[in-house]
Amino acid sequence: MSKKFYDIHFHAFNLSHPDILAFIKRFGIEKALFLGSMAPLAAILLKHKIDDYKNLISLMEHDLGSYFLIVEEILAQNKNCQIIKNEKAIIGGQDYDKIVITPLMMDFGYKGLKDKGILYELKKKPIREQVIDLFNGIRDYKKESKIHIFEIFPFMGINTANYTIDELLELLEKYFKDYTGKENDLLENMGKFDGTIDNIKSNFFAGIKVYPPLGFDPWPEDNEDELFKVKLLYSCCVEKQIPITSHCSDGGFLVIDKERHELIGSPERWERVLTYDKGRYKNLKLNLAHFGWKSSGYVATDWAKKIVDLILRFDNVYTDIAYRGIDNDYYQMLRNFIDSYKDDALIKKLEDRILFGSDFMINLRDIDSYNDYLCKFSKAKPISSIRDKMCQDNPRRFLNK
């Protein structure tokens, strides 16, 4: 069996994919000037610390095939910390034959989204366009790469609120009817997109991404129709063991008010899912991403502690460190937080559920490149004893049946 490095939290967007208002809010640029029509995003950013964003924007100018090739090329060329050598990835002193990346799609649909300050109708951002661009990009990468270090297993972005019940059933039928969760089946389809979305079927997607900051409510108990739809989603995922990654921090592309997000974005909302009806969905394979990060910057937030509580109670709950590992201080805090549980059995269980994730390309505000983030992880001494678990054993178990 080949040895693989897994990045369980990765993104692949171009400028046509995110809604620009969410993008602006994500990076704190609330008072952009609109004169007749929306100013180009790059022009807005020029007024607001362009140095913080220029790497991100420059990458988003590319088609996704070029994006994957550029990221790969930098991994092979950086002489200060060269990740790819002799067509292998070297991370933490270990050789890996492949780097598995899991582009997490985001359902930017606008159904029900309103903004008091907008006169014109907001343009919908159907997931269909992202799907086409992403699979075109994967095909072009596989065709043009000279290294082929990446295996690319996307997660389908779903916000149940953007679909009728029939539409949701049709979507799950189309993409997950014959889902197996086996890497060989995903590899068989990698790069085989013919440009026609109707020909995408099961085992093109490795899992599902949900995103509370865009309005996805894991347990909309006050709305019978919406609750029925999430139950359909969870039933499908439990039956087929489809992994779900959910954003779980107080940041992100926030288009709902903060009070609402504090409610539906919290891991406590997922506790209601996992405990419903004496544990109907207790075996849901769930990654609560970002380890419950909040703007305080510390690991031991109330959300982080609740995530640990769920990990210790449910066998298929995981968390990742996406965007967190931008310096060694974070890894030391992570180690201290794990060790604070003192009991060896609890510590081992927790260590077996933490996943490596980068949140690339979103993290380009705080790092220089994907190579930069991997190098920081590679050199992080506080987690040296569990590094291989985080980037190989745990994510392989999360992804596969």
Q: Tell whether the model's pLDDT for residue 386 goes beyond 60.
A: yes
Domains of the chain: 4-399 (3.20.20.140)
Q: What pLDDT does residue 365 have?
A: 85
Question: Phi and psi dihedrals of 4, rounded to 5?
Answer: -125, 145
Question: Which positions ≥6 away from 384 have C-beta within 8 Å?
Answer: 92
Residue 136 pLDDT exceeds 60: yes
User: What local confidence, expressed as pLDDT, does residue 23 receive?
Assistant: 55
pLDDT greater than 70 at residue 111? no
Q: How far is CA 125 from the centre of its chain?
A: 18
Tell me the mean pLDDT in the region 86-91. Answer: 95
The mean per-residue pLDDT over the stretch 344-354 comes to: 97
What confidence tens digit (pLDDT) does each residue in 8-26 have? 999 998 887 776 665 555 5
Mean of the pLDDT values across residues 161-182? 95
Lowest mean pLDDT among 89-93, 249-253, 307-311, 313-317: 249-253
Share of the chain above pLDDT 70, in %: 85
pLDDT tens, position by position, 227-252: 999 999 999 999 999 999 999 999 88
239-256 exposure pattern, b = at least 16 Cβ within 10 A, e = fewer? ebbbbbbbbbbbbbbbbb
pLDDT, residue 251, reads 84
Q: What is the mean pLDDT of the chain?
A: 88
pLDDT digits (tens, 9 = 90+) for 253-288: 888 888 999 999 999 999 999 999 999 999 999 999
pTM summary value: 0.90
The answer, yes or no, to whether residue 165 has pLDDT greater than 90, is: yes
Q: What's residue 33's pLDDT?
A: 34
Whether 185 and 134 have beta carbons less than 8 Å apart is answered as no
Quote the pLDDT of residue 254. Answer: 83
| Inter-helix orientation angle 64-77/127-144, to 10° | 50
pLDDT of residue 122: 44
β-partners of residue 152 are 101
Across 54-67, average pLDDT: 89
pLDDT of amino acid 253: 83
Q: Which residue has the higher pLDDT, 283 or 60?
A: 283
pLDDT in the model for residue 70: 96
The burial class, CB within 10 Å (0-12 / 13-18 / 19+), for 186 is buried
Query: How far is Cα 244 from Cα 237, in angstroms, rounded to an integer?
Result: 8
Alpha carbons 68 and 8: distance in angstroms, whole number: 16
pLDDT of residue 298: 59
Task: Please check whether residue 252 is in contact with residue 204, taking contact to mean a CB–CB distance below 8 angstroms.
Answer: no
At residue 45, the pLDDT reads 47
Region 97-101: mean pLDDT is 98
In this prediction, residues 322-350 reach a mean pLDDT of 94
Lowest mean pLDDT among 152-161, 291-300, 367-376: 291-300
Please say whether the beta carbons of 250 and 295 come within 8 A. Answer: yes
